[in-house]
Chain A
Amino acid sequence: MTIDGVSPSTVVRPESIEELAHALASEKGAIVPLGAATQTYFGNPLRRADCALDLTRLSRITEYNPADLTVHVEAGVPLEQLQHALLENNQFLPLDPWNGPRATVGGIAATNAQGPFRATGTIRDWIIGMKVVHVDGQISKAGGRVVKNVTGYDLQKLYTGSLGTLAVIVEVSLKLRAKFQRTATAIARPADESGAAALIASIRNSALQPISCEWTGPENEVLLRFGEHPRAVDWQLKNLPAADWRVLEDADEAAAWEKLRGRYGQLGPLVLRVIGLPATVHEIIKTYRPAAWIAHALNGIVLMQIFDADAIRQIRGKYRAVIEKAPLEVRRKIGTFGLTDTEYELMKKMKEAFDPEGRLNAGRHVDGERN
């Protein structure tokens, strides 16, 4: 296995949290925690790797309480395994990250992986507690096992999106949601960009509340997904703004979203996540003319395929933007997150507080952001 041109000399596959803690306590080199390895392209270039810590054997659902709408899982549980278990009680974790069903819960948390389903937030909004192992083998937890909790600092939020550079996430407690009684997807293909922009504007100003609203380009396809009480779904379908809508349900609907995921896979090699506002999505597309894009149109976020590192610098002059995917040579030249000075300083101090020798995923996050 090679990540960013670096190959770990040893791979450890612990079967339990204690075993993992023990392995970390005795390891003195650079450590790379890994889930299903579906997103190893994300982040600043990995600098060193002596030991890969494979978490896929930590794959137990340790406790599931359907009546409490909570589940506690080890970090290596794949999303599809979790969703499958939850389905038995008509429940689910309302997330559909681009990196797919094979991705592990720990990996999704560590990378803050996202997808089109954003109406109820991202994984940070569903995590209620976490257990982590620190670089010296110390085990600690934050949050708890109940759906509402303000006991102690919300460190689980800090670990989410930290790319395993503060500590290794080993157990995650999640709150859940009842499955929608019905979902349906409406797809339209306006003639041009302005048509798509106008359509999205009228959706934003309507009473509709889609759980996903994606605008893909350059083909200008608009995908809306609704999930609610069956009658509320019907009402929304009946009240769509005028366009040539195609309504999909069941297997056809699932196929359409799987196709969009494929579309995300094809974006590249350089993809930037540009953070604007719902009302500025069209402006962003018009200004930077990406070769292809997927916009979370109601969230003001555009994932766009761009040409080179210069374009990243140009865009960052006006918008916050995270490198979603990029070849190693680009990531060597320009930081993944484009942090402000304040963020950089705070995150650097945080990294030093947790991992002073910089051995956890060396170079991946703030420690590789500015060279």
Chain B
Amino acid sequence: MKKEIVKKLREILGSPAVIEDETELLVYECDALTLFKSKPDAVVFPRTTEQVAQIVRLANEHRIPFLPRGAGTGLSGGALAVEGGIIIELQRMNRILSIDADNRFAIVQPGVVNLHISQAVAPYGLYYAPDPSSQMACSIGGNVAENSGGPHCLKYGMTTNHILAIEAVTSKGEIIRLGNAAGETVGMDLIGAIVGSEGTFVIVTEITIRLLQKPQWVKTLLAAFHSVEDCSQTVSDIIAAGIVPAALEFVDAKTIEAVEASVYKAGYPQDAAAALLIEVDGFREGLEETSNAIVEICRRNRSYDVRVAKDDEERARLWLGRKGAFGAMGRISPDMITMDAVIPRTRLPEVLAEIARMSDRYGLAVANVFHAGDGNLHPLILFDGRRQDQVEKIHRMGEEIVKLCVDVGGALSGEHGIGYEKKEFMNLVFSESDLEIMMRVKRVFNPDGLLNPSKIFPTRRACTEIGKHTTTSTAEIGKRVEEVLRGSAR
């Protein structure tokens, strides 16, 4: 990156808030999806919205790509600087600005860690519902970008259902505000479009979130099964009985093996083929009956061990195993790929059986730990990154799993996003027409494509995009040529 630009960034932010040293930049060459790597030219750490706006304006002036980054826990490469440029790291904008317990909302900066919000509002008997497994580390800004989920979104909805208002910096460096603390949409639902746009529409710099009253009572159960089919059937039966669990999580034998060998040891039954972690919450009255009805359904499906957590400590331990499952895989495998696809929940048994067959065929172990209640699969393909033969196979196997899920009427991603990882699969679920319309909306927010480029849209389309621009005006051609040259000039 040109010295002159680095100098200007330092003028905006102060010297220590700009990283351009090659070694230091290594940390930012990927997010939690480590399979793809691309180094940014600089990483900046703004503390205010105005600074973010200034950086964006500077990047526009020099036609440098830029992208926001939160805690870097994303699993689809959303914070990957594919074309280099500037990463705007928002972790230092980490203040909870206000809590309005009376009206049940809070205003927070994007770098606030998800879990810290619930901790801060706990004294008021409130909490923030969406709880991705990475909630101890992930930032709320990243959650907004990805429309993150978590186990409890089965009952309480995804991030999009909890965002009331935002302040953001546009791709051109303007500061805008949208929404209201009542969460009432006025006109078109622009916030609804922005949440989940994976940092390709705007950079969110302040977020007003909905807080919920903590449930009066919670019951957490663990049911063990000797067969995956019985376990899957139980999921369908619970939903069919009209029960709305707060969470309904599936862990298979491989996952249990890893968890029990790790610091997340939760006391999961080690002889089980699969187990369900089930939680119901709400009013204390009636919850016992609901819990009993679930136990009954589990038994009817041949669960050989149903355990109801006796106290908060046991509850916490059961959840620790689930939330730590991804991390625990390190105990049994040097590397893994976390997949994220959604299927109609009734298709669980056949899809899981097919994934098991694939695992045999490719000779790669797969652990399944996922949000069964909403059919959100997370097959974890375990491999050894030092073995080139395995690395090649995981790509093919991953693709086969994605196609399988799409074929049964599913979706490419339930909560991790498309990012860089899954963009080439977009043609599997969307037609050229669908993608063209999405591109139109992207251009409304991000007309020059400088904000977080090379994401979501399949590469084939990105070429068409440039082609379309070049036919519009000579000025556009100049801009595009400059963009193409930008790559080689670096």
A→B interface (CB under 8 Å):
65-70, 90-91, 112, 121-122, 124-125, 134, 138-142, 144-155, 157-158, 160-162, 166, 177-179, 181, 204, 207, 209, 228-232, 234-236, 273, 275-279, 299-301, 320, 322, 337-340, 342-343, 346-347, 349-350, 353-354, 365-366
Give the docked Cα–Cα distance between A150 and B436 (Å).
Answer: 18
Contact-residue bracket for chain B: 35 or more
Give the docked Cα–Cα distance between A301 and B290 (Å).
Answer: 34
Those of B147-186 within 8 Å (CB) of chain A:
147, 149, 153, 157-158, 160-161, 176-178, 180-186
**A235 cross-chain contacts in B, Cβ below 8 A:** 283-286
> B410-441 vs A: 1/0 string, CB under 8 Å?
11111111100000001001110111111011
Interchain CB contact under 8 A, B157 and A121: yes
Question: Does B378 sit within 8 A of A, measured CB to CB?
Answer: no
Interchain CB contact under 8 A, B182 and A146: no
Question: Does B244 sit within 8 A of A, measured CB to CB?
Answer: yes
Give the docked Cα–Cα distance between A234 and B375 (Å).
Answer: 33
Interchain CB contact under 8 A, B239 and A67: yes
Interchain CB contact under 8 A, B440 and A354: yes
Question: Does B349 sit within 8 A of A, measured CB to CB?
Answer: no
Query: Nearest residue in A to B146 (C-beta to C-beta)?
Result: A150
Pairs A-B, 5 closest by C-beta atoms = A157-B192, A229-B286, A178-B242, A231-B286, A232-B283
Give the docked Cα–Cα distance between A122 and B192 (Å).
Answer: 12
11 contacting pairs across A/B (C-beta < 8 A): A121-B161, A144-B429, A148-B411, A149-B413, A150-B149, A276-B182, A278-B104, A299-B184, A337-B186, A339-B186, A350-B188
Interchain CB contact under 8 A, B289 and A231: yes
Q: How many residue pairs bridge A and B at CB < 8 Å?
A: 239
Give the docked Cα–Cα distance between A354 and B443 (Å).
Answer: 12
Give the docked Cα–Cα distance between A69 and B154 (Å).
Answer: 12
Partner of B285, one of A158, A234, A301: A234
A91 to chain B, nearest CB (A): 8
**A300 cross-chain contacts in B, Cβ below 8 A:** 103, 181-182
Question: Does B41 sit within 8 A of A, measured CB to CB?
Answer: no
Interchain CB contact under 8 A, B456 and A152: yes
Interchain CB contact under 8 A, A146 and B343: yes
Partner of B193, one of A65, A139, A154, A178: A154
Partner of B375, one of A146, A209, A349: A146
Interchain CB contact under 8 A, A229 and B289: yes
Query: Nearest residue in B to A128 (C-beta to C-beta)?
Result: B411
Partner of A338, one of B181, B186, B216, B244: B186
Query: Nearest residue in B to A350 (C-beta to C-beta)?
Result: B444
Query: Nearest residue in A to B160 (C-beta to C-beta)?
Result: A154
Query: Nearest residue in B to A167 (C-beta to C-beta)?
Result: B437
Interchain CB contact under 8 A, B414 and A148: yes
Interchain CB contact under 8 A, A342 and B176: yes
Known contacts A150-B146, A151-B429, A342-B176: A366-B438 contact under CB 8 Å:
no
Interchain CB contact under 8 A, B414 and A150: yes
Interchain CB contact under 8 A, B102 and A365: no
**A275 cross-chain contacts in B, Cβ below 8 A:** 180, 182, 184, 186
**A151 cross-chain contacts in B, Cβ below 8 A:** 411-413, 418, 426, 429-430
Question: Does B108 sit within 8 A of A, measured CB to CB?
Answer: no
Give the docked Cα–Cα distance between A151 and B102 (Å).
Answer: 36
Partner of B443, one of A122, A347, A353: A353
Interchain CB contact under 8 A, B344 and A65: yes
Those of B294-348 within 8 Å (CB) of chain A:
342-346
Interchain CB contact under 8 A, A146 and B103: no
Give the docked Cα–Cα distance between A299 and B426 (Å).
Answer: 38
B482 to chain A, nearest CB (A): 24
Interchain CB contact under 8 A, A142 and B438: yes
Question: Does B190 sit within 8 A of A, measured CB to CB?
Answer: yes
Give the docked Cα–Cα distance between A160 and B191 (Å).
Answer: 12
**B440 cross-chain contacts in A, Cβ below 8 A:** 353-354
Interchain CB contact under 8 A, A232 and B285: yes
Question: Does B236 sit within 8 A of A, measured CB to CB?
Answer: yes
Interchain CB contact under 8 A, A278 and B375: no
Interchain CB contact under 8 A, B433 and A150: no
Partner of B189, one of A160, A231, A339: A160
Known contacts A142-B434, A229-B283, A232-B286: A148-B240 contact under CB 8 Å:
no
Question: Does B287 sit within 8 A of A, measured CB to CB?
Answer: yes
**A153 cross-chain contacts in B, Cβ below 8 A:** 193, 196-197, 438, 441-442, 456
Query: Nearest residue in A to B181 (C-beta to C-beta)?
Result: A277
Known contacts A158-B192, A350-B444, A353-B444: A140-B186 contact under CB 8 Å:
no
Question: Does B122 sit within 8 A of A, measured CB to CB?
Answer: no
Known contacts A142-B434, A146-B342: A347-B282 contact under CB 8 Å:
no
Interchain CB contact under 8 A, B414 and A347: no
**B113 cross-chain contacts in A, Cβ below 8 A:** none
B284 to chain A, nearest CB (A): 8
Question: Does B265 sit within 8 A of A, measured CB to CB?
Answer: no
Give the docked Cα–Cα distance between A207 and B213 (Å).
Answer: 8
A232 to chain B, nearest CB (A): 4
**B282 cross-chain contacts in A, Cβ below 8 A:** 228-229, 232
Question: Does B371 sit within 8 A of A, measured CB to CB?
Answer: yes
Query: Nearest residue in A to B148 (C-beta to C-beta)?
Result: A150
Give the docked Cα–Cα distance between A346 and B443 (Å).
Answer: 11
**B289 cross-chain contacts in A, Cβ below 8 A:** 229, 231
Give the docked Cα–Cα distance between A365 and B186 (Å).
Answer: 11
Known contacts A299-B184, A353-B444: A346-B190 contact under CB 8 Å:
yes
Give the docked Cα–Cα distance between A149 and B417 (Å).
Answer: 9
B325 to chain A, nearest CB (A): 19
B187 to chain A, nearest CB (A): 5
Interchain CB contact under 8 A, A342 and B283: no
Partner of B444, one of A230, A277, A349: A349
**B484 cross-chain contacts in A, Cβ below 8 A:** none
A132 to chain B, nearest CB (A): 8
Interchain CB contact under 8 A, B417 and A150: yes
Give the docked Cα–Cα distance between A204 and B411 (Å).
Answer: 39
